[in-house]
Amino acid sequence: MVDLIGLAMPFAYLGLLVGSLATFSSLYRKRKTARSASLEPWFDPHVQRNIYLSLLHLEPQPDQDKATPVPDSILKAALLQRAAEDIRRILAIRGAKQPLSQLLQRGSVGDDLWQRFLRAEKEMEAEVKDVVEEANALATNWGQTVFQSANEMVNNATIRERVGELQAKGRADREWWDKERESISSKFMQELDEEVPAGGSKPASTKAGNSDEEAVLVEAGGPAAGGSTAGSKGGTVKKRKGKK
């Protein structure tokens, strides 16, 4: 009897110790996952993925009692869009990983940001696997090429955007050039006009009114002129004023 009670004591102690440690660890883990789940996601909601999955669960329209099944071709298109968005996200993750880990080492960014990043990376891996499975379900062996196609789609979209930008810049340049040419030719005409009174022998008193008018014209043309021509124009205006 005495022995049993003596033995029970250390066992009770051990049980208490293990029990309290287990409670602490499970509580700690639960809190940690809850905290990482409550962290803001790295990316915005994945619209293309939501569209694809919404199409799989399409609701019947109000006037029908059964939903028309979505044809496979639409699902394929939606999956392709989803894969293209995945490619964009994978590229974003790849680009961010190196600098972010350096910043983390230096202590410039908090651990929260790194946790968010790791979670996004893990999610993307699952997402890619999911897309490949869906693609294989829609057409045999499509999973092998779906991301190749999606990658080209992303590249082509970038190219088109860039070409569009540069061509738009060209159109803006055309407008600028039309104005510039006008101001150059009007400046040229004015210089021709100016040379006539300067060539004549001192018509100062008789042509005073006339030269006044010209000075006003020159000043009005000033602000419209391009940067390169403004300097010389300012010079002519000053000269005129000095003469008067």
Tell me how far, at minimum, the Cβ of 142 lies from another protein, in Å: 5
In sequence order, the 6+-apart residues with CB closer than 8 A to the CB of 30 are: none
Among 139, 208, 216, 224, binds another protein (CB under 8 A): 139
Among 89, 90, 93, 127, binds another protein (CB under 8 A): 127
Question: Using the rule CB under 8 A, is 170 a contact of another protein?
Answer: yes
Query: How far is CA 135 from its chain centroid?
Result: 28
Question: Cα angle vertex 160, ends 158, 162, to 5°?
Answer: 70
Closer CB to another protein, residue 30 or residue 179? 179
* Residues within window 16-75 making contact with another protein, judged by CB under 8 A: 41, 45-51, 53-55, 57-58, 61, 68, 70-74
Question: Cα angle vertex 46, ends 45, 49, to 5°?
Answer: 140
CB 75 within 8 A of CB 52: yes
What are the backbone angles phi and psi of residue 144, rounded to the nearest 5°?
Answer: -70, -30
Please give the structure tokens belonging to residue 121: 């990376």
Question: Using the rule CB under 8 A, is 179 a contact of another protein?
Answer: no
Closer CB to another protein, residue 72 or residue 212? 72
Cα separation, 151 vs 173, whole angstroms: 33
In sequence order, the 6+-apart residues with CB closer than 8 A to the CB of 49 are: 82, 85, 127
Q: Where do we find the tokens 């000269």?
A: 239
Stretch that binds another protein, among 8-16, 88-96, 137-145, 198-206 (CB under 8 A): 137-145
Please give the structure tokens belonging to residue 191: 């210089």
Closer CB to another protein, residue 103 or residue 153? 153
Tell me how far, at minimum, the Cβ of 34 lies from another protein, in Å: 16
Stretch that binds another protein, among 14-22, 78-86, 185-193, 198-206 (CB under 8 A): 78-86
Please give the structure tokens belonging to residue 169: 């810049």
Kindly determine how many residues on this chain lie close enough to bind another protein according to the rule CB under 8 A: 58
Question: Using the rule CB under 8 A, is 131 a contact of another protein?
Answer: no
Please give the structure tokens belonging to residue 2: 């005495």
Residues at the interface with another protein (CB under 8 A): 41, 45-51, 53-55, 57-58, 61, 68, 70-74, 76-78, 80-81, 123, 126-127, 138-139, 142, 144-145, 148-153, 155-160, 162-163, 166-167, 169-171, 173-174, 176-177, 180, 228
